[in-house]
Structures are given as structure tokens and as C-alpha cells.
Amino acid sequence: MKRALSIMPTPEDMEQSNTRQISRRLYEGVKLVVGLGNPGSQYEDSRHNVGFRVVDILSARHGIRLGEYRFSSLIGYGKIAGSDVVVAKPLTYMNRSGLAVDTMVDWYNVDPSDVLIILDDVALEQGMLRLRTKGSDGGHNGLKSIIRVLGTEEIPRLRVGIGKPNPTMDMTTHVLDRFDKEELPIIKEAFTRAADAVSVWIEHGIDQAMNEFNC
């Protein structure tokens, strides 16, 4: 019978084999959900941190505690729709997200097709969702880092629209700024739908998730 999984192997496991063999046995078939953002209170609730917010909502909904610091990330483990899932918030800062994701993919022995990256997108109207199985980074530095380190563009991603800046604001200020009060109802609904989309991806696959949530 397959033993219940945990984030860390037991001391007994460590004695039986090397850590990579252990991880590949324990985490077979796991799904990896990664929300992108920047650590630190100055970035909390910023437009660039929507990936963090979606992961927080998803974790709370399914009773997953983001309490383990590993792979330069906050990690949580649980089940969603009967599937083993690891959720993560890389704390490397956005431009180095690929370093954290690469170590997680290796440790958990996850194929890139079983990884879902959640990120913000200025090219999408605020509140819109867009799921894709693969593609370029679209100018997003976090996704660019992940694609570069993993060596493939075939990584599923869920983009959450944050809209373009107004003509008087530069792009960096826009993405690092917090949402305006009048924007919050739209973006909070988008966070909820994004968490729903992740659950559908886990249970039914990317095609059904795209059919239900791409607009």
C-alpha cells in the first residue's frame, strides 16, 4: 500500500536510499501549482503578486497549510479532487523564479506538463483569465526565468489580467502598485475564478479548464 505523503522524507527513508530516489518514489503523480510574486510587505497585494493571492485562496479552500520553507519557496502539500498537489510561492523575487521552480520539478520528479504557473498579465483586461498549455513568456520576467531554466516553453500557465497602466504611469510602477479601491471587486472575483480554474485543471485537465475559463 502506498504510504501517506509528506513534504520531508522520514529518517528511515533517508537510511534506505538517497534523497532523489526517495522523492521520486513518494511524489509520483503529484501536481505542482506555483503562484508567482515578490516577497516582502512592500509588495503584498501588488498587481505583480496575483499569483501569490490565488495560491493563498486555493490553499485555504482545500485546507493546505503553506508552512514549509524549502526550495527558496513557501510550500504546502495536500489533496485537491483526490489528487496529490504541491502548492508553492517562490521567494526568490520574480526575476529568479526559475531557480526555485527548477529545484521543485527535480525533487518531486514532475513533468513540466504537470506544473501550472499562475501569474499576472498586463496585456489582458483586468479580471480576465487565460489558460495556455505552452507559449512564450509574453514579456513576463518570472515566466521568462522559468522557461529559461527548464529549457522548454511547454509549461501550462494561468494568466490573470491586471490591465495596462494609464498613460501617466510607467509599467514597473503599475505592476508593483496596489490595486485601487474601485478595482478590488473585479480582481477579487478573478482570484476566486482563478482558484476554481486550478481545481478544474487538476481534476479534469487543461483542455476542460481552458474551455470553462478562457474568455
Helix (H) or strand (E) holding 14, with range, is: helix 11-16
The answer to whether 33 and 105 have CB atoms below 8 angstroms apart is no
The full 3-state SS of 123-190, as one line of letters, equals CCCCCCEEEECCCCCCCCHHHHHHHHHHCCCCCCEEEEECCCCCCCCCHHHHHHCECCHHHHHHHHHH
The answer to whether 94 and 142 have CB atoms below 8 angstroms apart is yes
CA distances from 4 to 9, 27, 47, 114 (A): 11, 10, 37, 20
Q: Is 62 a catalytic residue?
A: no
CA distances from 54 to 1, 10, 31, 99, 194 (A): 34, 31, 16, 21, 7
Please tell me which residue in 48, 62, 140, 204 is annotated as part of the active site.
Answer: 48
Q: How many residues does the chain have?
A: 215
Residues with Cβ within 8 Å of residue 7, at least 6 apart in sequence: 68, 70, 75, 77
Q: Is 20 exposed, middle or buried (0-12, 13-18, 19+ CB in 10 A)?
A: exposed
Residues catalogued as catalytic: 48
